[in-house]
Amino acid sequence: MAVVELTLSGLSCGHCVQAVTAAIQARDPGARVEIALPSGALRAETALSPAEVAEAVAAEGYSAR
């Protein structure tokens, strides 16, 4: 497990947070994900790489950097 930190944009509410969390956990069921609103700060403890987390975020229609 490593810590991945990204800044997300386009998230407006708890449903967005849930969608992104679910997308990451679909790729790594053991991932622990915290997303703060309105900043969009994401912190995940996961086996995924930052690029893989960003890809999961993008698949839900949000952007990460």
Longest dimension (CA), the chain: 28
7 binding Cu ion? (CB under 5 A): no
Q: If binding is defined by CB under 5 A, does position 13 make contact with Cu ion?
A: yes
Q: Which stretch binds Cu ion (CB under 5 A): 2-10, 16-24, 34-42, 51-59?
A: 16-24
- If DSSP states are collapsed to H, E and C, what string results for 10-61? CCCCHHHHHHHHHHHHHHCCCCEEEEECCCCEEEEEECCCHHHHHHHHHHCC
33 binds Cu ion (CB under 5 A): no
Q: State which of residues 4, 8, 16, 44 lies at the interface with Cu ion (CB under 5 A).
A: 16
Residues that bind Cu ion (CB under 5 A): 12-13, 15-16
